[in-house]
Structure 1
Amino acid sequence: MKKCFKSIWFYLGLLTLIVVIIISRSQYSDFELDDHALTIIPISFTSKTDTLSGTLVLPNQNKIKAVAIFIHGDGAQDRFANSGYLPLINSLVDAGIGVYTWDKPGMGESQGNWLHQSMQDRADEAQIALQVIQKKFTQPNIKVGYLGFSQAGWVIPIVATQSNPDFSVIIGGAVNWRDQGAYYHQVRLKADNIDDNEIIRRVSEQLQQNDRVFGINGSHDISAQEDMSDDRFHFVIQNYLSDSSKNLPHMNGRVLAMFGELDLNVDALKNACLYRTLLGNHVDKTVILFPNASHGLLKAPFFNYQLDNQWPWWKQVLFIYQGRDSYSPDALNYLTAWITEEMTTFSDYIDFECKNSNTNIR
């Protein structure tokens, strides 16, 4: 019996030692905001009738080179995306780039309901945030702009046409809402090992059904909502026809579009090529495609999922363990160097081939 207890204590001690070693070697600090090394300022603003609550995170005052205003993707996001943004925020701050981010309407401490918003509503909200931050940083050497994810690809082109940010960064953006939905559905069916011809049939059938309900002259018949909530159904009605092609050529300021080659949510190559065409051949408009990267520019072999709730628990632990190292190699270095205009050579990511990049799903 004594030997049994000794054995239990031995293994408990060994397990504790392993946990301590893992924590000591992990990037757990990437998921914390150090009050001593950073300046953290709560800032709220009003959009329409809603008060939206956010946080401005800054490096030491004498090290600020730029401020990035975060524009969320789809979903119920608080200001730090349930801490998922923190490795990225810490990387930006370490490079001298402040971040302003707020809870979406109805999330965290913000009023309203994000599902009641059109992309123009979101752009109006982003423009107010830009004005608030620009008023705080009037020094010409501190650049203020947007950094957004996924659905922000329909928001930022609007607001960067209607306002004057110094820069805009779009990560994993799609040009056309309808086409993106078709690609997303296609990937899901492929993951279920559906035959290619059957995938084409099902995607085409779903597109036709969506067009009848949400398209031009669509019925907007709520009986067709299937598993959508009423709010989500009306959100799609407002935004199904979103297409950034009319705004992308007219965006003010420098523009960077970043795509992960193995994106499961957006057809990365097709949209990267569309961005390259629509932005034009300008030195301040850049489109890059990172190999082996996911929708959010994470390392695809480890973190490539369409939805956050698809991550198994051990992948969540791995993400916490790796922190900023979970991102595709050079992705964060490229992002921070581009914003601060301290670029080195990354030609491998810029020089991608667009021939035959269109999908066969319409």
Structure 2
Amino acid sequence: MLFAPETTELFFRHRDDVLVGDLVRPPWPGPYPAVVFVEGSGPGGRDQREWQTRLAAAGFASLAYDKPGSGASTGDWTRQSLVDRADETLTPVAALRARRDIGSCPVALIGHSQGDWVAPLAAHRSPAAVAAVVTVSGPGVGVVAQEECRLGHQLTATGFTADDARQALALFHELVVTWLQHRLSHRRGDSAPDR
């Protein structure tokens, strides 16, 4: 290979979890601008090798890490909300900024699928820390709209009738609306959700 980036396994802590990732950087001295990968739904993983090699060739360091409870990371990604994931995403950004070979250079986020909701949310929560957000395969709609579409198509594709799918979507919608009302009433300090 004509270009061989340098790879370092990086450990950082988010709350009670120890997260583990691969920092890939150019083979010349820094400082480098950097990128943190924000995975989609599911266990994900840190295998972004081709992307990371290309970024290193362009002069960027990049960090891809195992989500909590996958690969070498501790924790449980299945118990995270999008806000939890956004807060977690800021941890590797801070870990990179603490390194001499990154320092004050810009750090961007590259989100994929569900990560396309998480990355902008993380940038919004800490605009001084995140220089840019790139989305790959972004949904272009809100979470509820995407899940309704996914659920409807998945049910009919696996053999459920159109009527079954309509009933499931009605139940899904009812549960989501109830949950949202509960969350909003909790934020306002009400004792019970509006009915």
Pairwise TM-score range, normalised by the shorter structure: 0.7 to 0.9
Deviation at 1:89, TM superposition (A): 2.1
2:68 matched to which residue of 1? 105
Deviation at 1:58, TM superposition (A): 0.4
Does the 8 Å contact 2:40/2:115 carry over to 1? yes
2:186 matched to which residue of 1? none
Deviation at 1:193, TM superposition (A): 10
Answering whether residue 116 of structure 2 is matched by residue 153 of structure 1, we say: yes
Answering whether residue 17 of structure 2 is matched by residue 50 of structure 1, we say: yes
Q: Distance in 2 between matches of 1:193 and 1:49?
A: 42
Q: 1:317-337: per-residue Cα shift (whole Å, max 9, x none)?
A: xxxxxxxxxxxxxxxxxxxxx
Deviation at 1:187, TM superposition (A): 4.2
1:294 matched to which residue of 2? none
Q: Distance in 2 between matches of 1:44 and 1:54?
A: 7
Distance 1:192 1:109, change over 3 A: closer
Deviation at 1:51, TM superposition (A): 0.9
1:217 matched to which residue of 2? 178
Distance 1:78 1:193, change over 3 A: closer
Q: Distance in 1 between matches of 2:81 and 2:155?
A: 28
Letter in 2 for 1:183: C
1:115 matched to which residue of 2? 78
Deviation at 1:149, TM superposition (A): 0.5
Q: Distance in 1 between matches of 2:164 and 2:31?
A: 51
Deviation at 1:100, TM superposition (A): 0.5
Structure 1 segment 156-305 matched on structure 2, within 5 A: 156-163=119-126, 164=128, 165-174=130-139, 175-188=141-154, 199=162, 203-213=165-175, 215-218=176-179
Distance 1:202 1:176, change over 3 A: farther
Q: Distance in 2 between matches of 1:190 and 1:91?
A: 40
SS in 1 for 2:98: helix
TM-score by length of 2: 0.77
Letter in 2 for 1:206: A
Q: Distance in 2 between matches of 1:203 and 1:190?
A: 7
Which structure: greater helix fraction?
1
SS in 1 for 2:43: coil
Percent pairwise identity? 26
SS in 2 for 1:169: strand
Q: Distance in 1 between matches of 2:26 and 2:117?
A: 30
Answering whether residue 36 of structure 2 is matched by residue 69 of structure 1, we say: yes
Q: Distance in 2 between matches of 1:192 and 1:72?
A: 26
Letter in 1 for 2:133: S
Q: 1:261-293: per-residue Cα shift (whole Å, max 9, x none)?
A: xxxxxxxxxxxxxxxxxxxxxxxxxxxxxxxxx
| Larger gyration radius, structure 1 or structure 2 | 1
SS in 2 for 1:37: coil
> Gaps (5+ residues) in structure 1?
1-28, 219-237, 239-362
Which structure: greater strand fraction?
2
- Equivalent of residue 107 in structure 2, options 144, 150, 169: 144
Q: Distance in 2 between matches of 1:110 and 1:189?
A: 33
Q: Distance in 1 between matches of 2:6 and 2:157?
A: 44
Letter in 2 for 1:170: T
Deviation at 1:88, TM superposition (A): 2.1
SS in 2 for 1:104: coil
Q: 1:33-62: per-residue Cα shift (whole Å, max 9, x none)?
A: x9x822211211111111111111001234
SS in 2 for 1:159: helix
Answering whether residue 55 of structure 2 is matched by residue 92 of structure 1, we say: yes
Distance 1:87 1:172, change over 3 A: same
